[in-house]
Amino acid sequence: MPDFKIFEERIGYDFKDRRFLETAFTHRSYLNENRKTSAGRRSEHNERLEFLGDAVLELVVTEFLFAKYPDRAEGELTAYRAALVNTQSISDAADALGMNDFLLLSRGEARDTGRARLIILANAFEALIGAIYLDGGYKAAADFIGKQLFHKAEEVVEKRLWQDAKSKLQEIAQERVGVTPAYQMLDQSGPDHARQFVVGAFLGDEKVAIGEGRSKQEAEQAAAEKALAAKGW
């Protein structure tokens, strides 16, 4: 069992009931593999806390953005919020806190280091917010969220991280070169259940970049991301 006192010191919050903290780190797979729990310990995974934490996270970030950007329209604020609380953003925050070292996972889940682990970390981060909220109230949860995420807001806005790659490429290309990007299917392969698409991103006659994906839309987004990088945008 991890030493959760170390984690409490790391985040600067002492739980009155540390069982909330333990539950926040407990993945469903761990309980499936460890059905016998010690006396007095909650045999509960973190999905309910994740559900609660997600709602608290959205409200806290909404309040912050509403106050920080009083001149921005609803649509822009919604996009900023989505960028701040998406899976990548909050899993990065979880990783920065070293949450990976405290996760209670099955042996199989513990071996996975790809996209699935990012999702597990993001879910645990939301569950941690729920745990802090139940243990210490709204202000404690809001303080934690502020320390972990609010510093990202200016970068999200300045670098247009709130836009998806295609939208960002279109806006910048129209501003700088007066051209609307176009996408062309270059290749597709694989069986029906595992198709792979290759798409080119063009500015006029110039093929700027190529992207691949499991759908045409995914390949176009990949091509747009690479085009932005190729142009230094």
Three-class secondary structure assignment of the chain: CCCHHHHHHHHCCCCCCHHHHHHHCECHHHHHHCCCCCCCCCCCCCHHHHHHHHHHHHHHHHHHHHHHCCCCCHHHHHHHHHHHHCHHHHHHHHHHCCHHHHCECCHHHHHCCCHHHHHHHHHHHHHHHHHHHHHHCHHHHHHHHHHHHHHHHHHHHHCCCCCCHHHHHHHHHHHHHCCCCEEEEEEEECCHHHCEEEEEEEECCEEEEEEEECCHHHHHHHHHHHHHHHHCC
Measure the CA–CA gap between 209 and 183, rounded to whole angstroms: 10
Q: Is the pLDDT of residue 41 over 60?
A: no
Segment 165-174 shows an average pLDDT of: 88
Q: What is the pLDDT of residue 115?
A: 67
Does the structure show a pLDDT above 70 at 38?
no
The count of C-alpha atoms lying within 13 angstroms of the C-alpha of 157, restricted to the half-sphere facing its C-beta, is: 13
- My answer on whether 12 and 100 are in the same domain is yes
Once rounded to an integer, what is the mean pLDDT over residues 147-168? 87
Mean per-residue pLDDT of the chain = 90
pLDDT, tens only, 60-80: 999 999 999 999 999 899 989
Residues 122, 28: one domain? Answer: yes
User: What pLDDT does 165 receive?
Assistant: 84
How many domains does the chain divide into?
Answer: 2
pLDDT at 113: 64
Please say whether the beta carbons of 30 and 44 come within 8 A: no
Catalytic residue positions? Answer: 54, 126
Residue with the bigger pLDDT between 37 and 142: it is: 142
C-alpha–C-alpha distance, residues 102 and 51, integer Å? 20
pLDDT at 17: 95
Domain identity same for 124 and 212: no
205 or 1, which is more confident? 205
Percentage of residues in the chain with pLDDT exceeding 90? 68
Reading the block at residue 39, the tokens are 């006396």
What φ, ψ does residue 26 adopt, rounded to 5°?
Answer: -95, 110
Q: What is the pLDDT of residue 114?
A: 66
- Model confidence at 160, pLDDT cuts 50, 70, 90, reads confident
Residues 204 and 152 both lie in one domain = no
Cβ neighbours, 10 Å, residue 82: 15
Q: Are residues 113 and 214 in the same domain?
A: no
pLDDT tens per residue, range 95-145: 999 999 999 988 777 666 666 788 899 999 999 999 999 999 999 999 999
Domain of residue 221: give its range. Answer: 165-231
Residues 206 and 139 in one domain: no
End-of-domain residue from the set 111, 143, 158: 158
Which of 123, 142, 158 terminates a domain? The answer is 158
Same domain, 146 and 198: no
Residue 30 has pLDDT above 80, yes or no: yes
